[in-house]
Structure 1
Amino acid sequence: MEESNNYGHQHPLLLMLNQDQLIHNQSGVTDCSRCGEKVSAPCFCCAEHCGFYLHKVCAEAPLELNHPFHPHHPLLLMKNAPYSSGRYICNFCDKGGNEFVYHCSCHFDFHIKCALFTFNIAENNLKELEHVALQHPLISTENGHEELEDENGDEELEDVRECFGCWEPLAKYTHFSPSCGFNLHEKCAKLPFKLNHVCHRKHPLALQFNSERLSCKICGETNRKAVGFVYCCSPCKFVVHIECASQSPLQVIKSTNHEHPFTLFFRQVPFTCDACGTEGNHVAHRCGTCNIIIHKNCISWPRIIKSKWHDHRLLHTYFHHIEDFGVLNCMICHDEVNTEYGSYYCSKCNVIFHVHCVTEDERSYSIVSPEDEDEIPYESSITVLESNDAGEATKIEHFLHIHNLMLSPVVGKNENGCDGCLLPISGPFYSCSFCDFFLHKACAELPVWHHLCQKPLALISDRVFRCRECLNVCNAFAYECCGCKAKKCLQFVIALTPGARICLKHEHPLFYYREYNGKCNACGYTTKAAFRCKVCNFVLHSSQMR
């Protein structure tokens, strides 16, 4: 034990070289005044016993750190982060802090230990890890659960942590014990500082923090958490994830919805993905048998999905013959679908969806497994009693009305409104000769069950409700979720039904857009969801449809 520099403290400090000295001078569990973690030897403690403790490594941290992984600016050691709250999120470990911080003017923040630890990795100085136990990768148990096995063969709970370097699951590879304070794969602690890669022959790639959050040129993804390590060419802004950089040019990837495997096509050229129809400017994956080139992420698109946007199951295919479809517009965004590229379609209704439109929200669809690929039966709301020569139902029985209904064409001006959706009659409709009951043909032919929610929706009537989508209150027909009891009005449902379009008395069809930022032509207010005419850009709030 020796007296030393006070490192800004008002009293002299004593250096504790071993844990016994520290325990002798401690009065309970204490934390380091700079990093906030539990103090351990070697460390400094206050000679006046005022409760001030300081790890030796924290005390000797340089005021300015030129970090090899962040070569553009120095990291400055600050007592508090320069934010109004004084708190920050460490860009390495993704954990918060309000103690001393290494800060960069480009809004880059590190805990002291994280900055120094990664600096030592860059300098290949791993002395502090020499005595740290390693844990083995995840193994499968007989009951199907994934568990860890430590060096003594004992089983532990499933490990859901991620490596601070590559942000892959920590248990995927041999990794350091969590007691060392860092979730890090052994391989990520021993990465070469520079790398020559076939994807970027112009310059070598250097191991750096992904401070600009650039997307990987092989997989196209950007880490949403902390920055982690990447191999980067700063002048060219070329970034490759550690995991992607280690892939072999001969690697073969099997697809869940394509009969042949895909191989990496390492030459970086712009292309249009044959699976989703969007552009790509990073490394592609290619099926040599079918001459298909796609994004890495598109390899895993499911073959069949069940979407909330449609009653039938949707099949993914890489191209269509144009004569297969009368309408080539996506049922969600209403823009044209290029049938030379991949899409999801319903063969029963001849409707089509952009891949990214129908899969944008993970909660809006479910993957249909091969053993469940048989279609759920369609249950009609009507029973056909009479038909004309064209096969069109002229007399029907609807399960929500006590009398039979007759098909009537719209002749001249019709002031009646549909009892299903409350909109004016503007096309063929069914009417009751015993009471003033009218239904659009499209409303009458809607199924008993819809699948626009997690559970099926049942068609109901004679009940006052507020629509979950347009927030209007009415007592017309509605679809009620059998699970959450949420109700959706027929205006919303019809807008998603193939061939049925809300027209009102506008000269062109109006399409429903669940997300549309514009101004309503009726009230002038900004819309979030609206009915819109693609021809003349006429827009109406849902509440203005009545």
Structure 2
Amino acid sequence: MEVQHFSHHHPLVFIQDHSVASKPGLCLGCEKPVEGWSYGCNQCEFYLHKGCAELELGPQIQHPFHPEHPLTLLPQSPYGGANWCSLCCKIFQGFAYNCYDCEFDLHINCALIQSSIAANFPNSLHPHPLHFIQNHNKEVEPDCTGCQKPISGPFYYCSDCNDWMCRICYEEVDISYGHYRCPASRCHYIAHVCCATDKAIWDGTIMLEGYDESIGELMVASEIKHSYHDHNLRLTFSGKTKDDDSQCDGCTRPISTPFYSCKQCKFFLHKDYAELPKEMRHPFHKHLLTLPNSHNEDNISWCCACCRWYQGFSYRCYRDCSFRIDIHCMLFSDTLKHPCHEHLLFLVHNNEGTSCSACFKRLDSGAVAYRCMKRCDFNLDVGCATLPFTAWYKYDRHPLTLTYSYDSEPARLHCDLCEKKREPYHWFYYCADCVNSLHLNCAVGDLPYMKLGNKLEFYHPHPVTVVKNIWNCPPCKVCGELCNGQALKCKESECNFTVHWGCRWRLK
């Protein structure tokens, strides 16, 4: 028995016992394991529960959770990847009912939930009509807006409030009053008038009506000419470089595909960084930021977002405020979903009186940071938010993993590199196989965004080179301690000079 289903281009064959199919898998409709009766295409490894395949799903419906527009049934996400259900907030990849204009999506289980208007709900508690949902089969798991605890059992849902949250102060926006909104049809950015015109946020520029600052669709070029290099760069989608230690000249991290490279020079550039526009606006700063036309690899700069020294590409503000930001931070937006925390984090500009939940440093009042808005008292400064998830330690053959959990084991509360105490609540890097623990700075180094081998001019007769010492570490000429990891070294034959990065200023 075969059926032609809207979600697949081949006929689906009835499978009485899915265990006899070529490969077990998930139902592409509800994303639950396929067992027992099902329909499938073994050629494409596409399977549906019998019940999911026989659901009478209308190609277009008018749903009470989104009364403004009809929802269209799609076999998969319209965004080219995973989808986010607007009701239960779960990520999914199966069937979806979608409003393209509003980016409103419901996966099938939530679309089929029955609800009724709660006629007797007191207006003093909420101004809009609420939907009463009696049975949601544990599909909906967001936190209750009132008590901040996970939803369990019947609940009330407001379809009017779902999207209108100010992206600056993260309080509700009453759209019956004046407000600012992004004119792009599929963008939900909205802000209170007082928030959008705050001097810390707005640079005073008034956009003409109809002004469009969006960037068109990028064509993927196999060969490009970049302003930071003299020769043409060719695109590599897969494979390795001849030198496994190659670093991207844009971000200074180890190179990985896809990337652009120069055949004549050891110049590498990740594809994402090669395609950055000349000018960008960013939530970290109120003025327009510009990528300079050229890059001096001997020059070092201070990132005003993550507060680290860097040597790669950067965006700069040319409005006399000396703001610079490296491209790691430039790729972050005003929201962050980080594995360290269960809730979405939002960028906040005023952080006076708060501390970072990773390193416990006090945040400056003018510094930007990511904050949880669900009464969790959880904050991340940009430096900790941009930490790599893995790091390497010379005495460990495994990568160390960035670890967020409380460490109560006294025997592990020391750093295996510097041999100093670790605080139990602070983040650290850890190898579970070898039981190695390192401070954050000990694992990533003082110069995580410096390219090894580059030469710098400092308070020394000769240029010094950025090196990474692993074995036979020489002593620092300033403090006398061994220069483990990254350091500055003079490679002139008659000179025996090595210094810690942190000790360089004492050479004056």
TM-score norm. by structure 2 comes to 0.30
TM-score norm. by structure 1 comes to 0.28
Higher helix content, 1 or 2: 1
Which has the higher Rg, Structure 1 or Structure 2? Answer: 1
